[in-house]
Structure 1
């Protein structure tokens, strides 16, 4: 019976997508510092559209921008999501799938679960961190070791002063580390507890002085539909003081802040944030923004500054205090990965931020499914985005070869990209 309901929901959803497209072309992407954001149109039936996961075969790879080339640094992984480079040059990747969302209560829940399963976005999670070593320096990791296992949906990683930190979905745990080791079996020391599930990723970034960790914690729901109490301690970035052991909310109102990076000239913390669903293909856009200590960025009450979401019981004081983000990245691009790219790292690219756009599942015309670059000058975005890797998505949008997530600078100065559908770590260099 549930399968029949799911088919009905899928058919209705497909009809709604056609209706939303009828009589109009695709909306112009809401991108940049002053985007044109279409008027919100609340959807009674949410858009549900996602390509079938296909993977990469027969030497097929993403397309690198002119002047760049791409090769597989490591293949045959299991849903690699995030990356970290150890001081000795070993590359770590956190392999995990999302936390089980619980009981399927409605036909739409079933349709969404079935769609996500077809797109390789749900399933049994590996819950491990794998170490990759390119000992001969040829750009391909010939050694592979299980660095840690039995974790609780690991994601963020950091290394400071002989201690390795892991962001599990339920908190941050510290482990002793010896340089060159290929496996950690020691019992961890818990530093902070977070509510699991919902937006389950827990990214980690060490402060520039090595005294603090910043941790991204996403919301449980889309717009606090389970109540505000369920969202306490969520939709924010935490600051963990490693000397005192105390933690606090550094900034809030960030629906799902994932990638974290510092801009080196100002020292400002930046993040990429996934915005809310159900208001249109480009409304509101995901965004890249600097993060102010004590700042509030709108969720769930409003978006892009003081644009009120009237589906939510309002708090006028918080709306008035909401900070407008710095740079729009387009609607529902699922911008997750973030790292600083110094000028000259890739030929022809100035200073700026690299962003892994995982790709949409909730708009009538798919978006994202690529790795982009946003140039910076004087500590701020300074121009339109440029593509680095594209063609993770088939032209007809029916299937995806891969979906980029985490990005980082490799030990040899290359750009590394985790692809959780292709089960590959890609390596980008000059051609």
Structure 2
């Protein structure tokens, strides 16, 4: 992955992305020219290929407004201990030195690396920075439309927020990092949605290219690749399953069709039996599991729905599905009906906050794992058949509790909800209840940012991305309402280093869905690998699907 995959748009924080972001450029940029961040003389002497070009300066201004203005101000004026870019070292040093520093960053000083931005964009930002002494305001429509940048205090690592998310940044949260309940107030900060600014794309690591695969959808949620390569999409808002076939030279589907309509918030999609020749497509409606007869190549259901099993309705309505590798078990994820209601006294929670198991015909229901508040996404490791899940944990205990998580699921395993969380911490709202369960709470494999709203996971088994990605997980972080400064709204990677386990670390992979003022234009939901090895990502904020392709070093 791109270790130096951020885009240090000299505005130090272009989107305030590394921890203390902004503060880095601020500290370092106040140094004298001859010691400007210890830039090598060879790098400082490199000429800007876009120097003085009007179109490049205008493009650089747009990028500055997106990535830098939130810390350094609309006109580079700085604020408090954040340095001005209109004067001082930033104006005294060379454009080559600025480009080098934007690319490399300095995490110690709070300046992230912005190598993830294309080289052209970084040079354009540099060209724009050199015009700042004469700029009164950033003359872009995007800035004029935006509100005030977010200026809340930087988060304390390993916790973060959207300003510090950047492709390639590796994070790891442990039990020792967890604060006490109510260390901060519980925020109410739902996203203010806005349209995607013209020309804005999600930001991927160096070597990756993002294009718009499909748009104009109605709440695109789960996306799956059929054995024959067709792409199945659950449009939950319109109650239909859509199919895409083929891909054009510009990375868009060659053909689309409605497979079935008139469903009730469809979400999970699974093909049965697993392998090259499925006979059924299973759909997780919000209150039932249905299946439709299917053969490879079908663009429309060849028969009516067969009702397989009833499911609890309401509450967390997403119902994801997966089949065991031996085709004997259908797993169904059912979220809780509440935040933290006690199932002992709340009948609505029966058979919820669980991963259920059925025989393929819907019989023999049993609980496979429990105490999982909302296992919104499940997936089977294709190498060994292990079931994994990504989970939305409870809210209301403060900014940094309780973390969401991704984990391999133990049969019969208990994951804490609602009485306990994360390895035996008791929820104070259920103080004294079920002490016998404390030592049974399983600590998940990967602890994520609290309130990330992690929705879906997929295993990357193609060979198109660099070899270090093979076997890793990708996860879609939808973002939620219970954090003072937004977090999530990205796609992350779980490196497994060619093993079957996760070390607890994760990396930002696809970012940029939140504007500097905190307004949100995109919300990742689900992911799948297309037959060409690219990664498709659904986004129910912009009602789009994004395609992430690897195009080279």
Whether TM exceeds 0.5 here: the answer is yes
Choose which of 241, 265, 288 in structure 2 pairs with 1:153: 265
Q: Which runs of 5+ in 2 are unaligned?
A: 1-149, 160-170, 273-277
How far the C-alpha of 1:134 sits from its partner, in A, is 2.3
Select the structure that is richer in helix. Answer: 2
How far the C-alpha of 1:404 sits from its partner, in A, is 0.3
Q: 2-side partners of 1:311 and 1:411: how far apart?
A: 48
1:381 aligned residue: 502
Using a 3 Å threshold, how does the CA distance of structure 1 residues 229 and 320 change in structure 2: closer, same or farther?
farther
* Partners of 1:254 and 1:297 within 8 A in 2: yes
Q: 1-side partners of 2:517 and 2:182: how far apart?
A: 26
Please tell me whether residue 332 in structure 1 is matched to residue 473 in structure 2: no
1:26 aligned residue: 155
How far the C-alpha of 1:25 sits from its partner, in A, is 4.7
Choose which of 248, 256, 262 in structure 1 pairs with 2:374: 256
Q: 1-side partners of 2:379 and 2:214: how far apart?
A: 24
Select the structure that is richer in strand. Answer: 1
* Partners of 2:406 and 2:444 within 8 A in 1: yes
1:415 aligned residue: 535
Please tell me whether residue 235 in structure 1 is matched to residue 364 in structure 2: no
1:62 aligned residue: 202
1:200-349 correspondence runs (5 A): 200-224=317-341, 227-242=345-360, 245-312=363-430, 314-342=433-461, 344-347=463-466, 349=468
Q: How well do the aligned residues superpose, as a CA RMSD in angstroms?
A: 2.3
Using a 3 Å threshold, how does the CA distance of structure 1 residues 297 and 364 change in structure 2: closer, same or farther?
same
How far the C-alpha of 1:91 sits from its partner, in A, is 0.9
Using a 3 Å threshold, how does the CA distance of structure 1 residues 150 and 382 change in structure 2: closer, same or farther?
same
How far the C-alpha of 1:230 sits from its partner, in A, is 1.7
Deviates more, 1:387-396 or 1:29-38: 29-38
How far the C-alpha of 1:87 sits from its partner, in A, is 2.2
Please tell me whether residue 94 in structure 1 is matched to residue 234 in structure 2: yes
Q: Which of structure 1's runs of 4+ aligned residues deviate more than 6 A? A: 21-24
Listed one character per residue, the Cα deviations across residues 49-106 of structure 1 (whole Å, up to 9, x for unaligned) are 123222335342111111111111111111101101122221111112xxxxxxxxxx
How far the C-alpha of 1:42 sits from its partner, in A, is 7.7
Choose which of 188, 192, 216 in structure 2 pairs with 1:52: 192
**Number of residue equivalences:** 381
* Partners of 1:33 and 1:328 within 8 A in 2: yes
Please tell me whether residue 126 in structure 1 is matched to residue 219 in structure 2: no
Deviates more, 1:347-356 or 1:76-85: 347-356
Using a 3 Å threshold, how does the CA distance of structure 1 residues 355 and 198 change in structure 2: closer, same or farther?
same
How far the C-alpha of 1:232 sits from its partner, in A, is 1.0
Q: 2-side partners of 1:284 and 1:265: how far apart?
A: 31
Using a 3 Å threshold, how does the CA distance of structure 1 residues 414 and 296 change in structure 2: closer, same or farther?
same
Please tell me whether residue 189 in structure 1 is matched to residue 306 in structure 2: yes
2:53 aligned residue: none
Q: 2-side partners of 1:167 and 1:192: how far apart?
A: 10
Q: 1-side partners of 2:475 and 2:196: how far apart?
A: 21
1:104 aligned residue: none
Q: 2-side partners of 1:318 and 1:268: how far apart?
A: 24
Q: Which runs of 5+ in 1 are unaligned?
A: 1-20, 97-124
**Which SS does the other structure have where 2:437 is aligned?**
helix
**Which SS does the other structure have where 2:242 is aligned?**
strand
Deviates more, 1:380-389 or 1:306-315: 380-389
Q: 1-side partners of 2:351 and 2:531: how far apart?
A: 35
Using a 3 Å threshold, how does the CA distance of structure 1 residues 135 and 428 change in structure 2: closer, same or farther?
closer
How far the C-alpha of 1:362 sits from its partner, in A, is 1.1
2:251 aligned residue: 139
